[in-house]
Amino acid sequence: MIIEVNLEKPKLINEKNTIYAAYDKAFYVVDENGAYLPYIATFFNLPQQKNAMVSVVKVKWERMPVRDYRILPKDKVQVEPNKTIVSSKYLGLYRRYPVHALKIYPVQYDNNRKELRWIKSLRLEIRGQIDNSRKSVSPLTKATQKFTKTLFINQSEQIYQLPKPQLSTLNKKEQFANENPALRYSQIYKIAVNEEGIYKITYEDLKDAGYPLEFTNPQKLRLFNKGLEVPVYFEGAKDGKFDPGDFFEFWGEPNEKTFIKTNPEQYKDPFSDENIYWLVLSDENGRRLVDESGGLINTAPGTYIRPYAFRETLHFEKDGAYINFGHYTANVNNPAYQIDHWYYDRGIAAVESRTYEFDLPYPFQYGSQVFVKAAFRGFSIDTKMNGPGKGHQLTLWLNDRKVAEVKPEDEWKAQTVRFISNNEIGGLPQSNLEHGKNLLRIDMEQTGVTDVVLLNWFEISYLRKYRADNDYIKFRVQENLPRNLTPQFEIDGFKEKTIQVYKLGVSKIINTRIDVYTDNTDRLTSYRISFQDEVFDPKVEYVALTEKQKKKPLSIKEYKSWKRLLPQVSLLDKSNKANYLIITDNLFYVNATRIKLFQNNKGFQTEVVRVE
């Protein structure tokens, strides 16, 4: 492979009364005479996994006199005796492309003559041998072309990759166990959300975020979250172009329950509620929500059944006060993710009764199906409560119905977690719930001791009517429906008629019926959506909402590799080690790279990482 390099005259930077040569994106070395010189690093692709031979075929120098060039004292820095003007090294594989680094040292300084010479043009020959590789399948897709073009200096018809590795699925899984699969693709953008809902991303949204839509075949777009592909609903992808009017939708959730398996009180994520959905461009088609007909087909009596209520579980949690637990060593020694530090308030202290208001939508009126679960942590550490048969005391009430009670003899001690529920006792009556405002009350009656507890969160599980609240409802099929009948969902309560239904992870339901309906019991007149679906899996969830209730993400941003000059190096790559890590804002990046050079010269391998 022959490479022609043409270089511009280097910029001369005057700093602290010395001058040094500079190129954009250059790195720096110090030569054996102490001259501070730029070099350029780039990558090429060759079908071999060992170092290649690079030789200079032709070089044309230019010279200019420079006084006061930056010469560093040799005893203070690590010099690189470097007689060559080019060097190359095999770095490793990126995907299946062998990546070789090419370094060009285009500037030399002669301190006796006070003369700088620089390479104006250079012809290189790179020789390798064909290993076990093959040329990329041609023609390359636009996305791959764009990616190889940015990474390698090769012409695009000269890109080689290794054959697909013959790994078993298990091995492959092990190899990438901790890797974010989204980073294997190109055009990586991060969509941040912190609320549950249907998100709609339009042409304009992506254009505003700088997404290169003109190169994008929407069929090849894929969305990943926490290592798994998320199916999206796409409108306008058939023509292979992402143009105005096109959009996609997906079900988004906040980042939560990260530690709930090991620490059941940690419902929220202790570090961030922002969840990242990775939008990438792939060579393969992405997962899609399909259109599924929900037409009212079974109309004869005795063929369909209308479910009237489903089980809804709502989580209530407020970060009202941060509690340190500073004086209790067992808690101080726990890492932050093992113990929730955020509570409703600074605690409920005996003798006291405190009430917490919360909103519930449309409870069904009949039966005894209401279950409450609340997470508390003790706060007071009164030594009088250390003995046997002593502990915190509280009674939990829902709208003046007793849920459960903890007695001192239950020995709930000091600052430990306690879950309180009526799951074992039996459900409270549905008629005890109101649509809208409801009350959870905590009574603490213990006297003669200091008894303080903290409310972390509570959950109400109840039967809910199929009625939208604020033009939105997430629902599922009613429990224990007869299996020989087709469920016909009828959901009213909508103020607008632009109602759409999604079967989460599966489909968007079309051919639904939307009409104006007046409820027999409460005479509410509203828009109603009806559809039939043969699903009896009680875990399948649906969302029905109006167009206005679709959400927009917090942000859409291009993903920037932590190591921007070597984007092909994964964070988990073993070659990524450093003795000294500088984490900085973009603002200080240039100065930080100078510290990096200084530390490198002292023998510490140093990395600079920019925060976003």
- What residues make contact with Ca ion under the rule CB under 5 A? 236, 239, 241, 243, 246, 340, 342, 456
Q: How far apart are CA 266 and CA 16, in angstroms?
A: 54
Minimal distance, residue 239 CB to Ca ion, in Å:
4
Question: How near is the Cβ of 433 to Ca ion at its closest, in Å?
Answer: 24
> Between 415 and 456, whose beta carbon lies closer to Ca ion?
456
CB of 319 to Ca ion, least distance (A): 6
Cβ-closest position to Ca ion: 236
DSSP 382: -
CA 19 to chain centre: 45
Considering beta carbons, is residue 455 or 463 the nearer one to Ca ion? Answer: 455
Residues in the chain: 612
Instruction: Return the number of the residue (243 or 283) whose C-beta is nearest Ca ion.
Output: 243
- Cis peptide bond prior to 139, omega within 30° of 0: yes
Beta-strand ranges (E) seen in 361-498 are: 371-378, 394-398, 401-406, 417-421, 436-444, 452-465, 472-476, 486-494
| Rounded least distance, CB 240 to Ca ion, Å | 7
Shortest reach from residue 459's CB to Ca ion, in Å: 13
Alpha carbon of residue 70 to chain centroid: 45
Of the candidates 357, 334, 353, the one whose C-alpha atom is nearest the C-alpha of residue 344 is: 357
Strands of 67-185 (E only): list them. 86-94, 97-104, 107-110, 115-127, 134-135, 160-161
Q: Which residue has the tokens 């592909």?
A: 229
Shortest Cβ distance from residue 259 to Ca ion (Å)?
A: 12
Nearer to Ca ion, 275 or 456 (CB): 456
Least Cβ distance, residue 23 to Ca ion (angstroms)? 42
**Is 246 or 451 the residue whose CB approaches Ca ion more closely?**
246
In whole angstroms, how close is the CB of 450 to Ca ion at the nearest point?
Answer: 23
461-470: b (≥16 Cβ within 10 Å) or e:
bbbbbbbbee
Which residue's CB is nearer to Ca ion, number 269 or number 451? Answer: 269
In whole angstroms, how close is the CB of 137 to Ca ion at the nearest point?
Answer: 26
The dihedral sign for the CA sequence 384, 385, 390, 392:
positive
Residue type, 266: Q
Q: What three-state secondary structure class fits 370?
A: strand
Buried b (16+ CB within 10 A) or exposed e, 500-510: bbbbbebbbbe
- Residue 328: CB atoms within 10 Å: 16
Question: Closest separation between CB of residue 326 and Ca ion, Å?
Answer: 18
Nearer to Ca ion, 119 or 374 (CB): 374
Closer CB to Ca ion, residue 92 or residue 236?
A: 236
> What are the strands of the beta sheet with 507-510, ordered from one edge?
290-293, 507-510, 499-503, 541-546, 472-476
Q: In the complex with Ca ion, which residue's Cβ is closer, 457 or 559? A: 457
Choose between 106 and 218: whose C-beta lies nearer to Ca ion: 218
With 0-12 / 13-18 / 19 or more C-beta atoms within 10 angstroms meaning exposed / middle / buried, residue 590 is exposed
Which residues, 6 or more positions from 200, have their beta carbon under 8 angstroms from its beta carbon? 247, 248, 249, 550, 551, 552
Spatial separation of the C-alpha atoms in residues 175 and 169, rounded to whole Å: 10
Minimal distance, residue 343 CB to Ca ion, in Å: 6
Residue (270 or 427) nearer to Ca ion, CB: 270
Q: What is the dihedral of CA 110, 113, 118, 119, to 10 degrees?
A: -90
Q: How far is the CB of 298 from Ca ion (least distance, A)?
A: 36
Using the minimum distance from each CB to Ca ion, give the nearer residue, 163 or 245: 245
Return the structure tokens found at 104. 């060009």
> Residue 204: which H helix or E strand, with range?
helix 203-208
For residues 311 and 370, what is the distance between their CA atoms, to the nearest angstrom?
10
Closest CA to 600 of 610, 592, 609: 592
Closer residue to Ca ion (CB): 40 or 348: 348
Which among 434, 377, 427 is positioned nearest to 404, based on CA atoms? 427
Pairing mode of beta strands 290-293, 507-510 = parallel
Identity of the residue, 272 or 432, whose beta carbon is nearer to Ca ion in the bound complex = 272
Cα–Cα–Cα angle for 573, 577, 581, nearest 5°?
125
